[in-house]
Amino acid sequence: MANATEISNNRNQDRRQDIPFFCPFHLGIKTGRRIGERRAVDRGEPVYVDCYAGHLMLCTIAILFLSIGDAFFTLNLLAHGGEELNWFMAILIEDSVEKFVVFKLALTSMALILLVVHHNVQLIGGMRVRHLKYMVLIGYSVLIGYELYLLELAATY
C-alpha cells in the first residue's frame, strides 16, 4: 500500500501532454466532452476542443452556403457578359464549369475545417480565429449583395 508522501508527490506532477496534429478526437474517431479551456493558466494558449459551439457550426454552414451562392451568381454574371477577375478561377472556368465549382467548394471547405479546428487560437491582441470566421461571413454576405446588384444591373440592359 502506498504511503501518504507518495500520493502527495503524484498530485504535484504535471501529466499534460502536447496534442498531436492528427488527434483522434479532431478526426472524429473518438468523441470527447471538452468544450473550452480547462484551467485558468491555459488562458491565451491555443485550446483544442472536442465539442464545438452551435454558433460556430452555424457560421461555418452559412459560409459554405454563401460560397455555393457565390459560385452560382458568378456563373450567372459570366453568362450576362461579366468577367472573372480572379485569374486562377478564370482558368478553371475556361477549362470546365464543373471543375470551377468543385475546386471552389473544396478550397472553401478545407479552409473552414482548419478555421473550425483552430477557432480558439489567438492571432493578434484579443482577436482569435473565430473572429476571423465572422469577418469572412460578413465579407461573403457583402459579396453576395454586390453580385445581386450586378445581376440586377445586367437584367436592365
Q: Tell me the C-alpha distance between 132 and 154, whole Å.
A: 33
Question: Does this model's pTM top 0.85?
Answer: no
Phi and psi of 147, rounded to 5°? -65, -40
Cβ distance 93 to 83 under 8 Å?
Answer: no
pLDDT, average across residues 70-97:
93
pLDDT, position 151: 93
**Element containing residue 123 per DSSP (H, E):** strand 122-124
Q: Is the pLDDT of residue 36 over 70?
A: no
Q: Tell me the C-alpha distance between 108 and 130, whole Å.
A: 16
Nearest Cα neighbor of 143 from 59, 62, 70 is 70
Nearest Cα neighbor of 150 from 77, 67, 49 is 77
Read off the pLDDT of residues 2-12 as tens digits, 9 standing for 90 and up.
565 555 555 66
pLDDT, position 40: 45
9 Cβ neighbours under 8 A, 6+ residues apart:
none
Q: Pull the grid cell for residue 138.
A: 460578413
